[in-house]
């Protein structure tokens, strides 16, 4: 919901019933973007203002001309804070120009990283936790950037489609006639491949089931992903190690589950 008075801007999220009212001098030409969870982005005269529903002030600003879909990504994540007594993540990734990604911490208004690339970027998206960034360039190469370690690696060539599975750290991408799924992105060399015909349209996740919808020209075909492995990734990142082990324990040992056990071990040592 968006409304304006003479001196304020009101933004409301009807799902959570959170409302923000902030001082605002409008131009009448504002553009609003609601594609990121818990956040409204307001584009006005070359400046982007980020509003968190329920907070009566702008939580951050940045300057970018690229407001297209999948060219800007913002994440708020409180789950790690609740788990480990730390601070919530509030982060945004956007293009400074067509070859440069800027990653900004909205809590301190600090630049966390600047990623320079040698080909025009046409897609970027942060994971739900806001600590990893996927981006793709015009040559159809897909890259992963680890914000904490400030490392970039190439995941895939000839990438036609890419997305994070909703509410998880699982990556789905298409390269030619292969559907590529990274159930454990920490082990980026472990990729599960499915042969498909057609083009990936979208990912749907509800009621304990995750499907990738593929248009083969005549019909839409759905491919089921391994929900236990997806649940594991989300548990590890947002619900803690005990829950992750509960999910892994009954599963048979495959290259994917072995990679996940290694990730659990690594995180247990870190903590």
CATH of residue 93: 2.40.10.480
- Residue 25: the pLDDT is 84
Using CA atoms, how far apart are residues 53 and 37, in angstroms rounded to an integer? 10
pLDDT per residue as tens digits for the range 112-127: 999 999 999 999 999 9
233 and 170 co-located in one domain: yes
- Residue 83: the pLDDT is 53
CATH of residue 11: 2.40.10
173 and 252 co-located in one domain: yes
74 and 130 co-located in one domain: yes
Of 127, 157, 187, which one is at a domain's C-terminal end?
157
165 and 266 co-located in one domain: yes
- The whole domain housing 112 covers 66-157
Q: 217: left (phi > 0), else alpha (psi -120 to 50), else beta?
A: left
- Which of the residues in the chain have pLDDT under 70? 79-86
238 and 187 co-located in one domain: yes
- Residue 81: the pLDDT is 47
Strand order from edge to edge, sheet including 192-195: 159-164, 171-175, 178-182, 192-195
- Cβ burial of 124 (10 Å; 0-12, 13-18, 19+) is buried
181 and 150 co-located in one domain: no
Of 88, 122, 157, which one is at a domain's C-terminal end?
157
76 and 136 co-located in one domain: yes
- Residue 255: the pLDDT is 83
pLDDT per residue as tens digits for the range 227-268: 888 888 778 777 778 888 988 898 888 887 888 898 889 888
Count of domains forming the chain: 3
194 and 173 co-located in one domain: yes
Our measurement of the distance from residue 169's CA atom to the centroid of its chain's CA atoms, rounded to an integer in Å, reads 8
128 and 184 co-located in one domain: no
- Residue 85: the pLDDT is 59
CB atoms within 10 A of CB 53: 20
Q: Output the pTM of the full model.
A: 0.84
79 and 11 co-located in one domain: no
The secondary structure of residue 107, as a DSSP letter, is: T
């Amino acid at each position: 919901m968006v409304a304006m008075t003479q001196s304020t801007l009101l933004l409301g999220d009807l799902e959570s019933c959170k409302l923000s009212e902030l001082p605002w001098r409008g131009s009448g030409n504002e553009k609003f973007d609601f594609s990121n969870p818990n956040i409204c982005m307001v584009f006005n005269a070359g400046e982007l203002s980020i509003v968190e529903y329920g907070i009566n002030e702008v939580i951050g600003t940045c300057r970018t001309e690229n407001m297209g879909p999948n060219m800007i990504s913002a994440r708020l994540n409180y789950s790690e804070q609740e788990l480990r007594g730390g601070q919530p993540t509030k982060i945004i990734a956007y293009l400074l120009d067509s070859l440069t990604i800027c990653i900004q911490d909205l809590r301190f208004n600090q630049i966390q990283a600047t990623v320079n690339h040698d080909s025009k970027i046409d897609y970027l998206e942060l994971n739900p936790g806001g600590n990893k960034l996927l981006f793709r360039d015009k040559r159809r190469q897909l890259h992963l950037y680890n914000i904490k370690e400030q490392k970039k690696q190439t995941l895939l060539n000839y990438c036609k489609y890419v997305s994070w599975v909703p509410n998880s750290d699982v990556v789905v991408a298409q390269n030619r006639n292969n559907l590529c799924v990274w159930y454990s992105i920490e082990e980026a060399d472990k990729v599960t491949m499915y042969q498909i015909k057609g083009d990936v349209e979208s990912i749907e996740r509800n009621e304990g089931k995750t499907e990738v919808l593929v248009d083969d020209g005549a019909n839409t075909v759905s491919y089921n992903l391994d929900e236990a492995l997806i649940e594991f990734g989300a548990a590890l990142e947002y619900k803690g190690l005990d829950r992750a082990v509960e999910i892994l324990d009954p599963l048979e040992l495959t290259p994917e589950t072995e990679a996940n056990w290694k990730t659990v071990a690594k995180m247990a040592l870190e903590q």
